Amino acid sequence: MKNILLGLLICLGQISFGQESFLTDHFPFPIGASLNPRLLAENESYEYRAKTEFNSVTAENHMKMMMVHPEANRFDFNKGDEIVKFAQATQKRIHGHTLVWHNQVPKWMTEFSGDAQAWENMLKNHIQEVAKHFKGQVTGWDVVNEAFLDDGTLRPSIWSKNIPDYIAKSFQWAHEADPNAILFYNDYGQDGKPKKMQAILNLVKELQARQIPIHGLGLQMHINIHSKNEELASVIHQSQATGLAIHFSELDIAVNPKNDSTFVYTESAQEAQKNKYEFIFQSYQSIPKKQQYGITFWNVGDKDSWLRGYFKRPKEYPLLFDESYRRKPLYSSLLNLSKNEK
Ligand code: 9MR
């Protein structure tokens, strides 16, 4: 009898140990990933993780200017809509990325010519058509992406060159087109770049003083295991002090930032990465709940990362899931952090 009871207890124990726990069940804020529609369609493991592990979705590329507005008189929302369909079918929030950027701009825009009014009309039309198309589907937008250089000056781009005050105007136009959307300014690498950080804070103050709608700051968080915690903490603190919603919008933690071709993803590199992820999650937990828009990973598995594709760094392992889409050990460390949550 005793043995049967013991057996039963062990069995129950195993069942409960065997049950998967998800980050999304344990943290009170959304946990997202940027997604690629081709991988969703072609790779079952990718689709499975995308479906089960996240409750927020960003299109990694397919809502950007070049993708949705390939010709002056033609919008193409097919791929962006695929992401929306996937997110809706799996009850996920959708975050829009991005309305105005200096990268991934279609050729016709870079070659556009006209006076300031014509440029304004062109950008306004782009922003409003895209925002209207996804209205009611996206919760928020990265309205302007990466407008400042590291020294805090305005980045030279076709937008800063041709449209005076383009940042404020872009927020205003986005708001007119989708008054319910939470509007973000999104940027990277503020840690260790106090002038860039200050430029962003100045922008927020200026827009608020002019009653231009800005509701959130996206901190991309493309960081690495050597990123300094004090610098990250200072960026998070200063951003949070604005009172705006805070989104860690493109999180990944590189382990081989110098792209060493002999790099091995050893246990100690994994440990350093785990510690940095814990630091990031703990820092996010310390942000007041009403400002927590969520944490978004920049794609799902290591092999999907832009660091491998776009940056051509084959020995990089920056994400939560390994090459076979297995959870890395750091996943359970993050789950443990959630103990005091939800
Ligand atoms: O991950 C994106 C990659 O697939 C594209 O080739 C690249 C083009 O510049 O953009 C990447 O996403 C960027 C994001 O839109 C804005 N912040 C930096 C991201 C990484 O470069």
Q: What is the CATH number of the domain that holds 40?
A: 3.20.20.80
Per-residue pLDDT at 338: 86
Residue 8 lies in a domain: no
How many A from CA of 2 to the centre of ligand 1?
Answer: 60
How many A from CA of 329 to the centre of ligand 1?
Answer: 27
- Catalytic residue IDs: 146, 250
Q: Give the total residue count for the chain.
A: 342
Residue 2 lies in a domain: no
Q: Which atom of ligand 1 is nearest to the CA of 145?
A: 16
Residue 3 lies in a domain: no
Residue 12 lies in a domain: no
pLDDT in tens, the chain (342 residues): 444 544 444 344 333 345 689 999 999 999 999 999 999 999 999 999 999 999 999 999 999 999 999 999 999 999 999 999 999 999 999 999 999 999 999 999 999 999 999 999 999 999 999 999 999 999 999 999 999 999 999 999 999 999 999 999 999 999 999 999 999 999 999 999 999 999 999 999 999 999 999 999 999 999 999 999 999 999 999 999 999 999 999 999 999 999 999 999 999 999 999 999 999 999 999 999 999 999 999 999 999 999 999 999 999 999 999 999 999 999 999 999 987 555
Give per-residue pLDDT as tens, 311-332: 999 999 999 999 999 999 999 9
Per-residue pLDDT at 15: 39
Exposed, middle or buried: residue 143 (CB in 10 Å: 0-12, 13-18, 19+)? buried
The range of the structural domain enclosing residue 120 comes to 21-341
Q: Whose CA is nearest to atom 11 of ligand 1?
A: 306
Residue 275 lies in a domain: yes
Find the helix or strand (DSSP H, E) in which 155 lies: none
For residue 311 and ligand 1, the question of a CB distance below 6 A is answered with: no
Q: Which atom of ligand 1 is nearest to the CA of 188?
A: 17
Residue 16 lies in a domain: no
How many A from CA of 93 to the centre of ligand 1?
Answer: 21
Per-residue pLDDT at 5: 45
How many A from CA of 252 to the centre of ligand 1?
Answer: 12
Strands 292-297 and 31-35: parallel
Residue 321 lies in a domain: yes
Neighbours of 257 (CB within 10 A): 17
Place of tokens 């610098």: 231
Per-residue pLDDT at 236: 98
Q: Whose CA is nearest to atom 21 of ligand 1?
A: 306
Full-model pTM: 0.94
For residue 312 and ligand 1, the question of a CB distance below 6 A is answered with: no
DSSP 8-state code for residue 328: P
Q: How many independent structural domains does the chain possess?
A: 1
For residue 178 and ligand 1, the question of a CB distance below 6 A is answered with: no
Phi, psi of 93 (to 5 degrees): -70, 150
